[in-house]
Amino acid sequence: MTADDLRETSAALAGRALELPELARAGTVAAYVSVGSEPGTLALLDALRARGVRVLLPVLLPDNDLDWGVYEGEGSLARVRHGGRMALFEPAGERLGPDAVTAADAVLLPGLAVDARGMRLGRGGGSYDRVLARLERAGAHPALVVLLYDTEVVEHVPEEPHDRPVHAVVTPSGVRRFRQEP
């Protein structure tokens, strides 16, 4: 995609996500800063912040778990390279600890794909599997939302026993919700 395509899809994605009732009523949203070819998230992060939402961003720890910090605008981000992986943009301020995510009303999850059941395929590092397990242990039930391109919503992704479905996927063209088992 060209830089213009990326800007357009980022704006469309932000617009669709901001229409979600789960984000409209959220006081705290755990999110992430997109990297590489991921759908852009900065427009959404800034819009949430402008609404007065407390936005938490992940900080990758050496064991692939995630700590959290507050997003204070694009200027508050530090570009951090973790080993041989691509550089991530992380909040430069105070660290709140891995359990900070349990206070989120909604968690925006990165992914490579989501299938018709709401199962998310991640990048394989296990960071967000740990987040989801932490939420479950804490009895926290935030809305789980994945941000993807339309072509990344597929019929089926591989599933591990620890995987949990998400509540919704947002793409530039719309929102798809998934029925959750009681």
Residue 181: pLDDT band with limits 50, 70, 90: low
Q: What is the span of the domain harbouring residue 37?
A: 3-177
Q: Is residue 182 part of a domain?
A: no
Q: Which of 25-29, 62-66, 106-110 has the lowest mean pLDDT?
A: 62-66
Q: Is residue 44 part of a domain?
A: yes
Q: Is residue 50 part of a domain?
A: yes
Residue 157: pLDDT band with limits 50, 70, 90: very high
Give this prediction's pTM. Answer: 0.93
Burial class (CB in 10 A: 0-12, 13-18, 19+), 160: exposed
| CATH code at position 68 | 3.40.50.10420
Quote the number of domains for the chain: 1
- Give the pLDDT mean for 80-94: 86
Give 99-146 pLDDT, tens digit per residue.
Answer: 999 999 999 999 999 999 999 998 878 899 999 999 999 999 999 999
Element of type H or E holding 144: strand 143-147
Please give the Cα distance from 3 to 93 (Å, whole number): 29
Q: Is residue 8 part of a domain?
A: yes
**One-character DSSP codes across 22-51:** HHHT-SEEE-----TTSPP-HHHHHHHHHT
Residue 162: pLDDT band with limits 50, 70, 90: confident
Q: Is residue 24 part of a domain?
A: yes
The pLDDT, as a whole number, for residue 111 is 92
Q: Is residue 10 part of a domain?
A: yes
The pLDDT, as a whole number, for residue 123 is 81
Q: Is residue 133 part of a domain?
A: yes
Residue 150: pLDDT band with limits 50, 70, 90: very high
